[in-house]
């Protein structure tokens, strides 16, 4: 018995010893052996937690820095089925579920049966869920909606005396467009998942989106961060900000005028584009119908609202295309404004082409033919004088039939498909019908070339891209594609087109005439093709023009597709829209009307007073990083004077800084990256700006008086530049200030 017990004891002891040895070996294998790293990583995953750090999407800004699109706080509404069920059991008379369902239904519009289903949602094991988001009505709602529901949650807390009443707000971010529908087709939108869908949001997604970060730390069993635990963090990188060429005010003028006309004429669509012809900066571009990017889902049933007709629709341009034929004929020396021809109709092989006034105007000059918008006159210019090959060459050189390259997704190329050997096709192409299909942006680009001295420019919407912290900045300069016609041709064509508007007796563009401004323009009325035939009562009407003729600042195109009007035409429908937008835009840019002395003095004084009140001051643009020519154009566009310091090609610093609001009599100083030459004129600068300019010049500065600089003297002694400045109050005179201050000793030098 004793021996048996001893054997059993030895056996059990041996088993335990083997188990203990195995355990030691296993511990060694896990802690030290080849697999230790894997097991340590698995353990770390258990006690480590990671949280994302969201990035902010870059802003879209207009040319003056006004926000067009930015991220904003948003809230997702959620309910707590578990907590609500507990409160219902605790006190059924509170009717918590009914109250929440009713309130969410009234505020969000979510059906009550769907809300009850959410509040009763259960897990697979039959227990109530902790939290359910109210999708999609309660997904990323505005703060105003959240505030209404937060007030309601406070009422429930007062009722139940509980902090947690089963109604939650998850703080998130969403894309916000502060101007609503303004520039919707250009900006595009991002959906609630943060995905870029259309417009510049989609085109520039890689630039705007940035990248998220994360923070990873060790936690205890309650989820709290361990004080001395390991922490890893990758910071979020915010997206870059993009400054556009758009002018928010001009964009507003365009959309306001289009909306008024849309409500009046009920067309299929209506489109307008405004650009600076010298740079082809798009100042404004809109198309109706449109959509609100803040509520894009409300327009999902009608895809026409999302179509940007400015770049995605083609039209027979009609008589606005005659500008191309005219420019080609002038360039080739074939247009004599005083030469005459018989209007009314003309026979070409295969077709008889008539003027819109089928009886014509008898024997008229080619200039009067332009004013009357005579088809016959342009058949003679394009088909007979230029010929098919030259006409086609100029049409191609003006950029038709290919994409313009504007920075928007979905642009189409249009089509120039007339056959040179078929006379009727060449003849109709000469006045913009037949096998000529163009986009509005192509029309604007071509006419801008006529206006700016003959240079075909690539249209652009992006002015610069900068880091969110304002550090690195990439500036995009205007791009010349080719010289199409000479500067002399440009000047002559401008004068001819001006007569279309200024001749208030026979000019078809007379409804675009604005007293005090020189406007060049051309009407367009094209019959629509329905089932392969020209319709007798459906038209595309348009007007294109630019101003002022001698120094064009804006080229503007308005096109209306099927206006519901018995007298629909480019002159009666499109020209008045053009006039309204153009006049507002010119005044906005500080271009005053040149009213004749014979005009009513009261009207002239009222116009001058209104202009002065609106345009006394302006905001200083940010031109750092721009080429000098482009920077000077930007500054003078705001009516400021410009002084360039140095001989470099780009602006490295400016004074005053961007965003300053100053009188338009003030000069803006542009410092380039080369050796500084002559000392610039300090006159009119405040003491603060004068000191800063001295600092830019690396010069000492002595000051007499107070107020603003009225005189200066530069002294270079021993290689050290010193600028002596005399200041006077705004109502003082330079002479008095100089006399008074000459008696006083110099102030301490600065710089």
The catalytic site residues sit at 319
φ, ψ for residue 736 (rounded to 5)? Answer: -65, -40
Q: Find the farthest-apart pair of alpha carbons in the chain and give their distance in angstroms, rounded.
A: 144
Containing 4, the helix (H) or strand (E) segment is helix 2-31
Residue owning tokens 């791009």 = 479
Residue owning tokens 């697979």 = 124
How far is Cα 618 from Cα 658, in angstroms, rounded to an integer? 11
| Beta-bridge partners for 554 | 547
Burial of 519 (0-12, 13-18, 19+ CB in 10 A): buried
| Beta-bridge partners for 525 | 541
Contact 449, 479 (CB under 8 A): no
Q: Which bin fits 698, alpha (ψ -120 to 50), beta or left (φ > 0)?
A: left
Residue 79's nearest CA partner among 131, 148, 115, 145 is 131
How far is Cα 692 from Cα 660, in angstroms, rounded to an integer? 14
Residue 198's nearest CA partner among 207, 183, 188, 208 is 188
**124 Cβ partners below 8 Å, 6+ apart?**
none
Structure tokens that stand for 502 in this block: 């200024």
Residue 486 vs residues 182, 337, 482, 491: alpha-carbon distances, Å:
37, 18, 11, 9
How far is Cα 334 from Cα 327, in angstroms, rounded to an integer? 10
Own/partner pairs, 746-750, CB within 8 angstroms, 24+ separation: 746/702, 746/703, 746/704, 747/702, 747/703, 747/704, 748/702, 749/700, 749/701, 749/702, 749/722, 750/691, 750/694, 750/700, 750/701, 750/702, 750/703
How far is Cα 486 from Cα 479, in angstroms, rounded to an integer? 18
Reported in sequence order, the residue ranges of 620-719 that DSSP labels E, i.e. its strands, are: 641-645, 651-655, 661-663, 667-672, 700-704, 708-717
Structure tokens that stand for 358 in this block: 């089928």
How far is Cα 557 from Cα 490, in angstroms, rounded to an integer? 18
How far is Cα 586 from Cα 462, in angstroms, rounded to an integer? 22
The two beta strands, 641-645 and 667-672, are: parallel
Residue 652's nearest CA partner among 476, 473, 479 is 473
How far is Cα 81 from Cα 747, in angstroms, rounded to an integer? 76
How far is Cα 117 from Cα 124, in angstroms, rounded to an integer? 15
| Beta-bridge partners for 175 | 71
Contact 692, 723 (CB under 8 A): no
Residue owning tokens 């085109």 = 203
450 in helix, strand or coil? helix
607-628 per-residue burial string, b: 16 or more CB within 10 A, e: under 16:
beeebeeebeebebbbbbbbbb
């Amino acid at each position: 018995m004793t021996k048996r017990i001893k054997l059993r004891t030895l056996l059990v002891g041996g088993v335990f010893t083997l188990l203990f040895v195995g355990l030691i070996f296993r511990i060694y294998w896990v802690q030290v052996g080849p697999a230790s790293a894997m097991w340590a990583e698995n353990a770390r995953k258990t006690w480590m937690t990671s949280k994302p750090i969201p990035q902010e999407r870059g802003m879209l800004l207009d040319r003056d820095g006004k926000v067009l699109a930015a991220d904003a706080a948003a809230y997702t509404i959620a309910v707590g089925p578990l907590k609500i069920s507990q409160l219902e059991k605790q006190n059924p008379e509170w009717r918590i579920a009914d109250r929440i369902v009713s309130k969410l239904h009234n505020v969000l519009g979510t059906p009550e049966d769907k809300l009850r289903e959410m509040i009763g949602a259960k897990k697979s094991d039959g227990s109530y869920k902790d939290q359910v988001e109210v999708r999609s009505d309660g997904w990323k709602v505005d703060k105003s909606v959240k505030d209404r529901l937060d007030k309601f949650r406070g009422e429930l807390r007062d009722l139940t005396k509980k902090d947690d009443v089963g109604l939650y707000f998850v703080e998130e971010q969403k894309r916000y467009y502060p101007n609503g529908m303004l520039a919707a087709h250009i900006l595009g939108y991002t959906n609630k998942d943060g995905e870029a869908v259309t417009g510049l949001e989609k085109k520039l997604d890689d630039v705007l989106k940035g990248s998220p970060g994360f923070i990873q730390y060790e936690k205890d069993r309650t989820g709290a961060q361990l004080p001395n635990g390991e922490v890893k963090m990758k910071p979020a990188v915010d997206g870059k900000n993009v400054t556009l060429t758009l002018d928010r005010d001009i964009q507003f003028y365009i959309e306001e005028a289009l909306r008024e006309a849309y409500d009046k004429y009920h067309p299929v669509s209506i489109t307008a584009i405004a650009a600076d012809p010298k740079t082809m900066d798009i100042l404004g571009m809109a198309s109706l119908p449109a959509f609100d990017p803040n509520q894009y889902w409300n327009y999902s049933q009608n895809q026409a609202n999302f179509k940007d007709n400015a770049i995605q629709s083609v039209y027979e341009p009609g008589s606005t295309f005659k500008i191309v034929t005219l420019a080609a004929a002038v360039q080739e020396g074939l247009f004599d404004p005083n030469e005459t021809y018989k209007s009314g109709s003309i026979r070409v092989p295969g077709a008889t082409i008539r003027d819109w006034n089928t009886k014509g105007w008898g024997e008229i000059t080619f200039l009067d033919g332009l004013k009357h918008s005579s088809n016959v006159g342009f058949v003679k210019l394009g088909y007979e004088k230029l010929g098919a090959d030259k006409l086609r060459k100029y049409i191609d050189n003006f950029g038709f039939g290919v994409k313009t390259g504007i920075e928007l997704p979905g642009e189409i190329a249009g089509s120039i498909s007339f056959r040179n050997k078929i006379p009727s096709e060449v003849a109709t192409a000469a006045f913009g019908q037949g096998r000529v299909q163009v986009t509005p942006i192509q029309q604007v680009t071509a006419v801008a070339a006529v206006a700016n001295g003959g240079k075909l420019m690539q249209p652009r919407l992006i002015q610069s891209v900068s880091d969110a912290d304002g550090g690195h900045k990439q500036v995009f300069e205007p791009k010349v594609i080719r010289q199409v016609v000479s500067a002399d041709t440009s000047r002559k064509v401008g004068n001819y087109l001006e007569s279309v508007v200024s001749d208030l007796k026979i000019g078809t563009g007379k409804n675009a005439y604005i007293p005090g401004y020189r406007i060049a323009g051309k009407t367009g009325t094209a019959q629509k093709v329905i089932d392969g035939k020209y319709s007798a009562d459906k038209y595309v009407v348009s007007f294109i023009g630019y101003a002022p003729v001698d120094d064009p600042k804006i080229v503007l195109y308005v096109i209306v597709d099927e206006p519901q009007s018995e007298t629909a035409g480019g002159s009666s429908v499109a020209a008045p829209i053009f006039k309204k937008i153009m006049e507002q835009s010119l005044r906005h840019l500080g271009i005053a009307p040149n009213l004749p002395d014979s005009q009513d003095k009261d009207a002239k004084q009222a116009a001058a007073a209104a202009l002065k009140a609106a345009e006394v001051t302006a905001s200083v643009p940010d031109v750092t990083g721009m080429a000098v020519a482009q920077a000077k154009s930007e500054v003078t566009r705001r009516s400021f004077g410009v002084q360039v310091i140095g001989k470099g090609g780009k602006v490295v610093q400016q004074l005053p800084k961007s965003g300053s609001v100053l009188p338009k009599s003030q000069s803006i100083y542009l410092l380039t990256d080369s050796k500084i030459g002559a000392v610039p004129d300090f006159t009119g600068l405040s003491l603060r700006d004068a000191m800063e300019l001295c600092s830019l010049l690396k010069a000492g500065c002595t000051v007499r008086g107070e107020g603003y600089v009225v005189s200066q003297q530069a002294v270079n002694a021993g290689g050290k530049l010193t600028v002596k400045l005399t200041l006077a109050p705004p109502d003082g005179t330079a002479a008095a200030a100089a006399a008074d201050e000459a008696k006083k000793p110099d102030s301490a030098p600065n710089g």
